Chain A
Amino acid sequence: GQNIDQPTEMTATEGAIVQINCTYQTSGFNGLFWYQQHAGEAPTFLSYNVLDGLEEKGRFSSFLSRSKGYSYLLLKELQMKDSASYLCAVSGHLYNQGGKLIFGQGTELSVKP
């Protein structure tokens, strides 16, 4: 089976740093993605990790440990516009072709002044 867990909600202060954790158990692994979703909109891509380690992209960084089935998204210098839902997603093998993209429940981040 496949299972992806992340906290339901988090609160942080403008200008601070916040880390959103994600743990997963999947039957195959083609990579882990983080998406941002504002209310009523489609998700937008933030990051992709397939190898262990940290990927940095501006204020956002994402870390992966395949042996632990663990990832986190790190947001620095938080801005009010960062208030959104953050979705962890895993791409798993599908009959050795294609990728089956499964999402966690999302973490609702509220950034306060």
Chain B
Amino acid sequence: SQTIHQWPATLVQPVGSPLSLECTVEGTSNPNLYWYRQAAGRGLQLLFYSVGIGQISSEVPQNLSASRPQDRQFILSSKKLLLSDSGFYLCAWDRVSTEAFFGQGTRLTVV
């Protein structure tokens, strides 16, 4: 069966510090991978998506970057966090015309 692991669940980081959130998928190959951010009471904003190793598309200009070093690994990073980077980050995977499966999410608070 397919599973998706995302960690950590919660994170408190000071402004200006680096960030690395990791997401791994099991039980499938060559998935589409996504990073979303959700502000309180809002919908999911697509940050990055990837259709294959090393293939990253950015949806919005921002202080974040993403990498896909392996087929089932997706990493969200920042060199210097801003207060506005606070939010609920969700990793997800899908295939064309199938439902998306989400990680548990990471609650990031930048202080």
The answer to whether A and B interact is yes
In the complex, chain B residues 86-110 whose Cβ is within 8 Å of any chain A Cβ: 88, 90, 92, 94-105, 107
In the complex, chain B residues 72-98 whose Cβ is within 8 Å of any chain A Cβ: 88, 90, 92, 94-98
Which residue of B32, B43, B45 contacts A98 across the interface (Cβ within 8 Å)?
B32
Q: Name the residue of chain A whose CB is nearest to the CB of B49.
A: A100
Alpha-carbon separation in the docked complex, A106 to B98 (Å) = 20
- Give the chain B neighbours of A94 by CB distance below 8 A: 49, 51, 57
- Give the chain B neighbours of A91 by CB distance below 8 A: 94, 96-97
B43 touching A99, Cβ below 8 Å = no
Alpha-carbon separation in the docked complex, A30 to B95 (Å) = 10
B36 touching A50, Cβ below 8 Å = no
B32 touching A33, Cβ below 8 Å = no
A97 touching B100, Cβ below 8 Å = no
Chain B positions near chain A (C-beta within 8 angstroms)? 32, 34, 36, 41-46, 49, 51, 57, 88, 90, 92, 94-105, 107
